[in-house]
Structure 1
Amino acid sequence: MHATVVIFPGSNADAEMIHTLRDVLQVRTSTAWHRDAELPAGTDLVAIPGGFSYGDYLRCGAIARTSPIVPAIRRHAERGGLVLGVCNGFQILTEAGLLPGALTRNAHLRFECRDIFVTPRAEGPFTSGLPRVLRLPIAHAEGRYQADPETLRRLVADRAIALQYCDREGVVGGDANPNGSAMDIAGIYGGPRRNVLGLMPHPERMSQPFQGCADGRAIFDAVLRHAHAGRSASAAASAP
């Protein structure tokens, strides 16, 4: 698999994303700058890391969506290419229209920086085979997912709610929700093949045991399995 990490002015989790993909998972990893008009050739996975793109002016991700690289990301997603947006990356994906809804100020108006728990709610490239509960860190002030009632109904009907906040036992609701997100949403799927995932927690910050927990690696392992399965299927189909 070939991954490309897209870097915007103000990104601050790009080094962690690159380290996780390149050094932990041994994935070929390139970078793209916000001014680039195309992704590196052969990109399978686009990863948009966390941070404060353009200083979060106007709204988180609102300026980043106008960057020259975004149309290339959109074309990649429309072709079924994998896209992962973490924290500010999730915000950019919603602002760019690649995912529905919006990430707004946390309900209590405080920045949240702590470990939380999530539970997978949908099958897809990034969530198949995950444990029932994952411990992951968050670091955001605008992580409250909101959408109109019809969009929320559609997410439920399409089984596009990828991850929900929960307690350590996997129970959703109540104080387990750190930001007031509608339906306790921590991450959602989009794209023609559920190939686009946006989530507020940072799996790349818990991908190795020395980080206190390696639960985040499971998300990357899932997408690696998906990519390898796809390549195997393509090879079998093209065999004489």
Structure 2
Amino acid sequence: MDVDDAADRQQRWEQRIEVPLFVASLLFLGGYTVVVLAHDAPVLQNLALALTLLMWLIFALDYAVRLKLSGEGLRFVRTHWLDTVVVVLPLLRPVRMVRAYNAVQRRRGEPRLSLHARVIAYASMSAVLLGYSSALAVYQQERSAPGSTIRTFGDSLWWACATLTTVGYGDVTPVTPLGRVIAVVLMGCGLALLGAVTGSFSSWLLQVFAREDEKRSPGN
């Protein structure tokens, strides 16, 4: 009974907090954008930094509340590893919007899109958010590094697109240690997202062909 009560309390909390977390993710991404790009406006940059720190506190508070409500103790860290990573790594916080969007759609009843379409839509949203966040983070690290080929935010966006799509032209590459760590994360996520989209699209095509074969079969 205690386990059921804990699960109910956690579910109610998650339902109440999803929309605020969606807004917090948007504000975090906007603030982080200003922090990175407005380096010639220190006052605006400091305000944006304060905003991003405030949004991080909201993420941390949500994580702490769900940790307590779960009653799992440190086991919660392992069973909810993605939430743990999102709190620790600023790069992944904007991707939290995809989960919040999914939760809001579920509350409106049955999803309007099929499973395959939802996978493709959510993977595409995640790719855009992750690519943009990575471009910001890499540009912040690389713009003044000696020997860097990523000198403008446009260069960083080009690099993020090439990395996410696994093309890897090699014309612009990160040279700083943190920039290369971000690159490795983006490569792994790019492969996973590309695989999800390709697999869902292929499965959808197979279902379409199967239905066409059933319509053409003599028994029908």
User: Normalised by the size of structure 1, how large is the TM-score?
Assistant: 0.29
Looking at CA atoms only, which structure, 1 or 2, has the larger radius of gyration? 2
Report the TM-score when normalising by structure 2.
Answer: 0.31
